[in-house]
Structure 1
């Protein structure tokens, strides 16, 4: 029996760390529940946002096992299964199939830059031997690109290859893939990994996305998906603009994915310090970024303003002057925060 096409918003799962930089299982389970309760269609562990290269093979397997156990079939799981070679990747596919995972996502070979012929041969070997459905993962900034002829050929030759996740952000490339594949594989799924183009990608025929922003504001990303598919374009456009602002701040003002980790902290989770060492300057920048993100999230009601308040929106001025803070507002915010923490009554 053919399974349903992969569609909707699949959240690339961040992994919380404990004080020893080990997997914080309890916090990860809480995070999974929170994402599902807020409407994401599926979960995507062991992707780029999940820092899969910073974990061992056994840790990657444990992450998926925890998420599968906590999810209990409520939403499908698309698990990253890319290992260093075909043999280890197929072993990962076998293990994730045993956990009841819906499909795996496999990035093209990284480190070595391969020709399209080699990329095709790599995925053909996997597609002919995998016990689980496979999603191709095209992320040309980190790995050998998967071109349109290769996607078309694999879709026609390998029944188990059922989808592609494309993180190039290139709308024409997505259109060309859909045009090449859909006539012969109408059930083949197209997912975008680039949050800044989610709405236009859906409009040209994408089935959904694996979007890092959904790990921070799942409510917003899901709403954008629903509004776009229902044809409420004006409302969707406004949300897409807001999402781009948030996405750009998280991805460009810190080492990836530290900006996303900082934002998830603001939603109430203890993410811990990542395994990538940071300089003192980077830590200071991350602290500044957290404040900026808190102001952005508070504007939409997702968290309180930071102590001291937030800058006025561009074009507005307080009574003291265009560039001076509103003292009453700052004092009020500080007092409210102190009361919330129980430091004053």
Structure 2
């Protein structure tokens, strides 16, 4: 309250959060978004504050203050905006820059120098629309600084930079973007150069830029006061966990190995079965054409042949009843519903399935449709 100087009762209540939702519309980098998020809003005019102490509406200010921060801080970038006129969402595809290392100590209500965070993961939305697209994650292995891309079941290495491009490839771009500002290890920031810009450099180190990043994850740095990074990776050992937990973990690991082995075995068997089935169909189809010089050939239902060739589990017997009349012959109207097979193809087909109903016709040289009466 600008009159009595007191904070509201709600200000004394601290709320926990899972992530900070930051605006990016009209903002170019993470520092600007944080400034916007923590900015002081003036409440005046029609938007005056009703002060409990003053018992009236007065001018006041409102803002968000960070009291403490967790080991991992998530920044949700508001890539999607609602359009009231069309009642639809639109994706903001403007380039947004963020540092490889972030000082959050100055953002606390009580500033501290022990809140330096390192970029640990980037979640990316690929696609131009808000209601469609594909999500991938770029995650850094904290034990060695190596970055990996997780794209559904596909995991690929990105090297030591979050977007997979070596510094040498983007140094020229970075110099151009920074307009002569000295750069230090600046890198390009995406797999698709048409959707990402070259990285810039700030006083905190590397700067990266992306048009698709929608969540940034920063992990609190393990460097000591002298700037030496301590090894915070705890090696698992049998003595670090109770015996019953180790037994359960070993059992789960063994079960996982067995399931993976069974899956691979089923996969190999299925692929072999598919390949065998393809060869089976191919062996018949390649021999199917009957030449005009053939003295004998066989007619078969075209629908049945398609079912046999296309299905993974083919019918077990040949059925020509759909193309036959009640007398067991083939009417002329069914000519387009049947296929002529050579004797060689017929023999191969018979070796794989049994006969339910067939139509066998012997031709000497001349064929007349009147024979299908």
Q: TM-score, normalised by structure 1?
A: 0.21
Choose between structure 1 and 2: higher helix proportion.
Answer: 1
* Larger RCO of the pair (alpha carbons < 8 Å, separation 6+): 1
Choose between structure 1 and 2: higher strand proportion.
Answer: 2
Greater Cα radius of gyration, structure 1 or 2: 2
